[in-house]
């Protein structure tokens, strides 16, 4: 079953366009290039609330991403957004899928 790593970010008013641009032109394409995920979905629920869902084929692929890549990406993110963002992370394991 797939493993879904979800990152929810709340940004302060006025940072939404900058954040959206950074995610779509830099952060997400670079994470995609790691080859650790089979799909990435970037969503927005309000002007200041975003979610990135990273779908890995299995726990080993997610573990590889967490061990080999997260330090770099979190540092880069912090450099671009040193304040004005609140980040929460959750790992989900898909139990069933209907297609």
Tens-of-pLDDT digits for all 99 residues of the chain?
799 999 999 999 999 999 999 999 999 999 999 999 999 999 999 999 999 999 999 999 999 999 999 999 999 999 999 999 999 999 998 888 888
pTM (2 d.p.) = 0.92
State the Cα–Cα distance between residues 85 and 48, nearest whole angstrom.
9
Per-residue pLDDT at 84: 97
State the Cα–Cα distance between residues 2 and 38, nearest whole angstrom.
9
State the Cα–Cα distance between residues 20 and 26, nearest whole angstrom.
10
Domain boundaries, the chain: 3-93
State the Cα–Cα distance between residues 41 and 48, nearest whole angstrom.
17
State the Cα–Cα distance between residues 62 and 4, nearest whole angstrom.
8
CATH of domain 3-93: 3.30.70.100
For tokens 């770099």, the residue is 72
Per-residue pLDDT at 96: 86
**Residues linked to residue 86 through DSSP beta bridges, in sequence order:** 10
């Amino acid at each position: 079953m797939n493993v879904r790593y979800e990152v929810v970010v709340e940004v302060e008013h006025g940072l939404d366009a900058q954040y959206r641009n950074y995610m779509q032109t830099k952060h997400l394409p670079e994470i995609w290039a790691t080859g650790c995920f089979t799909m990435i979905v970037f969503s927005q629920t309000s002007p200041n609330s975003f979610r990135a869902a990273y779908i890995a084929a299995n726990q080993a692929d997610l573990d590889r991403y967490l061990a080999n890549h997260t330090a770099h990406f979190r540092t880069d993110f912090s450099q671009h957004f040193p304040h004005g963002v609140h980040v929460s992370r959750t790992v989900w394991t898909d139990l069933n899928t209907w297609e």
